[in-house]
Each structure stands twice: as structure tokens, then as C-alpha cells.
Amino acid sequence: MREKEKIMTDQKKGTGMMEEMEERARQEAEGIRAEFDACPVEGIVHPYTVEEHFLPMADGVRLYTVVYKPAGLESFPVLMQRSCYPAQMETYRVYGEEFAKRGYGYVLQVCRGTGRSEGEWEPNVNERQDGIAALTWLNGQEWAESIGYFGASYLALTGWAIADVVPDKVKGMMLTVYGTDRFKSAYEKRLFRHDVLTGWSMTNAGHPVDADYLESCKYKPHAKVDEAMWGGRLAWYQEWIHAVKRSDDYWQQGWWKELAEIPAKVKVPVYIVDAWYDHHFGSAMNTYISLKEETKNHSWMDIGCWNHMSANCIEWGDQKNLENGDVKRILEWFNLLLKKKEMPNKRIRSYVMREDRWQNLDTWPLDTDNSRKYYLGSDRDLREKPGTAGEITFEYDPENPCPSHGAESVLTTITEAGSLLQQEPDYRPDIVSFISGPLTERLPVMGQVKVHLKVRTDVEDTAFSAKLCEVFPDGRAFNIRSGITTIAADLPEGAEYHPGDLVDVCVDFWDIVWTIQPGSRLRLDISSSDFPQYAAHSNYAGIWADQDKNRIAHQVICTGDERCYMELPLAAECRC
């Protein structure tokens, strides 16, 4: 199981990051070994041999490649992955040993410019050409009877990068906690996902970065943070922070456009695994949707309840059926494809929150035409019919943003990911909490929750955030889903907002399957920030990374209006 607790124990300091990464890698290796121990070897336990190669790529650059072979077999199925994380070599050694014991070969290649591999490190862009070269070499080896490709996170990216051009011996792939819609992993309604990409960039800059993480996120103008605090300009980071719209050229041409189009061309079965509180969830779901139907008919998808590191991230209840960890899935999937040589039948499974069980789904996205609306009331209540018209005001100061706690899209501060105990309603003056009465029946939410707001402000652009919680009968509140939007993102293309105008905005949550229990209440928190899950909006219009100052915005939320409501998609079983 990928280790949960140590991904970033110090959320602020860059000092000691390498030591922490090495310790996390050691713990991860121990966890992987324990997962294999829970899946005993069936049949012969093979000894193994280990080979080291420096494979030449198309341009002559040589990449360090390790090959584990089960002894005594002339040919055998081979599992392959490519990694940019040389600090995790101990984990890859465990994979090699354990797969070989079970009659698999294992090939691990270290990405260009990392570890012992030659070349210059530049994230993402070389993985297609290098992956093709490596897989072509493996396909030509007589000892490789058949091939399966697997990996999580960046290691899944290296798989998606070549998924549409794999050679004939590749029978399938298992790609977890990653998606090919890079824009979705970078932005939500023009607000940058700091905790994913700023934190990742600091630890993968290609040189040591000794800087305060949160101060880096706050630095203005942010476009100068790399040179001012990180020791040098990162051209690829500059591109990320300036391409704020999906329609920008950066996303509509070149590598990211090519990557987004790959799933529609994949012909081999793919096993996609993601989770409700993984920061790549939105992108991974879009990736599955992009697969052509013929491929879906032989692919699997699991949506579990854990964070990016496969760790339980729920603070309520005792979950006994999480099934978090990849090893059992890897063995099940590739035993079917490579050893039994059977073609999988379509399978979609999701973990049901608050019921601690898995259910099979017929389709994804979820096909629900049933929903319930809860309107925002003037008494800060949630009601099933609009009430008396009113307004609620609050002040949003970007210098003091609401801290992320209970989040979907965090990595650096991963301890804040998951469904966590929330503070009391209205616990800050810039948070407005709306609460329903107790539910008299179970409410099976299934799909994408949306929060529609009618708002105005005294600046040219600003943000509005929303968080849905279940309030247990004992008064404890735990977040279900959250999201954020900006006025600029919800306006028609080319339109400008004029301070003081009333405007409709919509906060779109990621999908969820969650059964709210009888006796519980719904709580909806409205604010204007969620930091560092998202960049704190400066309250100035334009590209966020170029803003050199902040200012306070005075926000107005309309209540009692038929356009101010939260829409809950419900399972077909609930006819409300």
C-alpha cells in the first residue's frame, strides 16, 4: 500500500525533503512487501536473476533499466513500468523479487535525466518517445512471452503516453491515480491547484529547492516565484501557471492535446483505479469516458475511498472493506490477461461512502435523472422550496484565506485530503453555513453535486467556494465534496463583470457515491477561498499568476431565490 502519512509531514519547509522522501520510500517498500505477503505464491516459487542495462533511446541518450527474470524459464510474461522517482528503487526491487517468484519478469526503467539515466530532466514531454523505444526493445526479446504495463501517478502517465501505440506482445495495462486530462488536474474554474502542481514542482525541479512551501504559494507576482525562491526559472511551470483556460493554445496543441486524445485510440484492455479523494480523480474519470466503447467492453475501473497514496482518509466510522492497495489488483488483472490469457469483461465498481461496501455500476458517468434541490434560505437554512428573498454578506481577504481541511485535490498537504471532522458552522467570518433539518430517510447521493449561486461583489473578479457536509446526529460534521469557481470563468466568453452587478455562478463538485443517513443534517459552507488546495484569488481580473497585489472583496449571496440552490443527484432507488 502506498504510504499515506509521510508524503509531506512538513507542509511549509523544503529543508530535508530528500531525507523525508527516502524515509517514505523505505516505508512504501515495506508496505508493498506486506501486500505481496498477503497474496501467497501459487505453485512454484521461482528464484530470479537481475540484469542492469543502459538502453539507448531514439536520440542516443541511455536510460538505466533493471530486468528481473524468473530462473528456469525460457520465456515468461513480463510486467513493466517507467519511473522518474529513483528514490523509490527499494520499492521497485520488491516488485522485481515478488513478481519473479510468481513467474513474471519485471522491467523498471528510470526516466530521462533522473537517477542513473542520462539526459536532461523535463517532466512529461519525453515519455512518449522514450516509452516507445523501451517497449519496442522489450517486445523484441525472445524471453518476453507477453507484456503488461502498470504504474501509479507519474508512472501511470508514462503508460498513458504510449497506450495507443503499444506493440503486439502488450496485452493490457493497469494505470492508477492519474488521468490524461491535464488541464483538469491543473485548474478549477481558472484557479490553480497549488497543492498538486506547485508542491510537485518544488520537489521535482531538477535541482534542490529550499523554500517555504506556503510562502511560495502566496508569492506575488507568482510568475516570479521560481527565480525569486526556487533557484531558477522553470519554463514548464511558467506554462502551467499562465494557461488558465482550457481553450488556451498550451492545452489545445502539442503534448497535452496529444495525451488527452490517446484514450480514444487505445485498443488493449485498461484497468483504471482511482479514488474519491485523489487529486487526479476528475482527470481519471474524463479519461475513462474518453475510451472508445470497444475498449470499455474489456476494461475495468475501480473507484475507492482513499487518498493519492492509497491510505484511508476518513475520520468517521471503521472502514473494513476499503480494498486499498494495488498489489492484489495487479496480480488479479495480469493473471487473467497474461497467464490465463483471457479477455476481461467490462467491470465498473465504486465504494459507497457511509455504507462501507462496493457496488457494481452499469455505466460511467453515472446515469441518474433523479435529483433533489435544497434552496439557500435567509435564515441560513437549507430548504426544499425557495423562501423569503434576502442577502447575506461577508468580506473576503486574500491575505487570510480559508485553510484547506477535508479536500479532494491536495498532494503536498495530503493529510488534509479526505472526509475529515469540520469545525463548527460559521467558524470564520468569511464562511457562511447553511444547514437543513434532520433527514427522515436515507439520501443516496450518486453523481455530481452542483451549487448554484446568485452573487455580486465590488471588484472586477473574485471567487466563490462551496463545501457540502453531513452533520451526524451527535453534531459532528464531515465534508462530502467541495469545489470553487470564479465570476470570470462562469461568464460568457469575452464578457466582463462590472462591480455591483448580480450574476449567476455555479460550483461544480466532482462525482461522489455517498449515502447520507437518516437523522443527519446537510450543511453547505459558502466562502471565497480554499487554500492551498486552490490559489487564493487576488480579487483582480486577469491571469492570476501575474497579479502583484491583493485586495479585499465585499461579497453578497442572494437567498430565497429560485436560482440559489444546491442540486443533489440521487440514485434511482430514491424517488423523492
Q: Say what the pLDDT of residue 2 is.
A: 37
Q: Per-domain residue ranges for the chain?
A: 39-176+262-313+315-352, 189-242, 371-569
The phi and psi torsions of 367 (rounded to 5 degrees) equal -95, 90
CA pair distance 251, 542, nearest whole angstrom: 18
Q: Is 354 left (phi over 0), alpha (psi -120 to 50) or beta?
A: left
Q: How far are the Cα atoms of 300, 370, 446, 448, 511 from residue 367, in angstroms, in the given order? A: 18, 9, 9, 11, 12
Whether omega for the bond prior to residue 473 falls within 30 degrees of 0, making it cis, is: no
CA 298-291-534 angle, to 5 degrees, is 125
5, HSE (Cβ side, Cα atoms, 13 Å): 4
Question: What is the DSSP code string of 399-419?
Answer: TSPPBP-SBSS-STTGGGBSB
Q: Which residue from 281, 271, 348 is spatially nearest to 308, judged by alpha carbons?
A: 281
CA pair distance 557, 504, nearest whole angstrom: 10
Q: Residue 563 corresponds to which amino acid?
A: R
pLDDT at 13 over 90: no
pLDDT at 575 over 80: no
Q: Say what the pLDDT of residue 23 is.
A: 78
pLDDT, average across residues 215-231:
98
Q: What is the mean pLDDT of the chain?
A: 94
Q: Is 90 exposed, middle or buried (0-12, 13-18, 19+ CB in 10 A)?
A: middle
Beta pairing, strands 270-275 & 191-192: unpaired
Q: Say what the pLDDT of residue 14 is.
A: 42
The phi and psi torsions of 394 (rounded to 5 degrees) equal -155, 165
Place of cell 526559472: 233
Question: What is the DSSP code string of 32-70?
Answer: HHHHHHTSPPPS----EEEEEEEEE-TTS-EEEEEEEEE
* CATH architecture of the region 371-569: Sandwich (2.60)
Superfamily of segment(s) 39-176+262-313+315-352: Alpha/Beta hydrolase fold, catalytic domain (3.40.50.1820)
Q: Which residue from 348, 371, 375 is spatially nearest to 360, judged by alpha carbons?
A: 348
Confidence of residue 510 (pLDDT cuts 50, 70, 90): very high
The phi and psi torsions of 256 (rounded to 5 degrees) equal -70, -35
The answer to whether residues 517 and 469 touch, using CB atoms and an 8 Å cutoff, is: no
Name 352's bridge partners: 357
The answer to whether residues 555 and 395 touch, using CB atoms and an 8 Å cutoff, is: yes
CA pair distance 146, 342, nearest whole angstrom: 13
The more confident residue out of 459 and 572 is 459
Place of cell 487564493: 536
Q: How far are the Cα atoms of 406, 424, 446, 449, 452 from residue 436, in angstroms, in the given order? A: 20, 15, 19, 16, 17
Q: Name the percent of the chain lying above pLDDT 70.
A: 96
Q: Cα dihedral sign for 248, 250, 253, 257?
A: negative
Supply the DSSP symbol for 388: S
Q: Is 425 exposed, middle or buried (0-12, 13-18, 19+ CB in 10 A)?
A: middle
Confidence of residue 214 (pLDDT cuts 50, 70, 90): very high
What pTM does this model have? 0.93
Q: Say what the pLDDT of residue 19 is.
A: 66
CA pair distance 150, 384, nearest whole angstrom: 47
Matching fold, domains 39-176+262-313+315-352 and 371-569: no
All cell numbers assigned to 408: 479532494
All cell numbers assigned to 244: 488558465
- The pLDDT tens digits of the residues spanning 296-337 come to 999 999 999 999 999 999 999 889 999 999 999 999 999 999
